[in-house]
Amino acid sequence: MSHAEFFASLFRYATGWLGWPPAVALATPIPQIEAAMEGRIDMLKAIFGGAEKEKPVADLTPMAFDAVFGTVAQANRT
């Protein structure tokens, strides 16, 4: 992302998501815009609930497969 794209995205966040007037968005330091965005996201998660990160699923090893399906698979073969 170029500097111009980064500043444009900050401006969109400040004026769009946060509802600040353009003059306020342009006069606000970057860390304050970022902190305000984090606060807005936290508020929206508190109100509407946030999607929690999905837990990674472990790979199904042959040993785990046999432990779960071994008897079923063997019963279907006979």
10-24 pLDDT, tens digit per residue, is 999 999 999 999 999
| pLDDT of 14 | 95
Residue 32 one-letter amino acid: Q
Q: Quickly tell me which residue has 């998660």 as its tokens.
A: 45
Structural domain for 56, as ranges: 3-77
Distance separating alpha carbons of residues 46 and 39, to the nearest angstrom: 10
Distance separating alpha carbons of residues 60 and 57, to the nearest angstrom: 9
> Residue 76 above 70 pLDDT?
no
> Residue 31 above 80 pLDDT?
yes
Q: What's the structural domain count of the chain?
A: 1
Cβ contacts of 37-43, under 8 Å, gap ≥ 24:
37/13
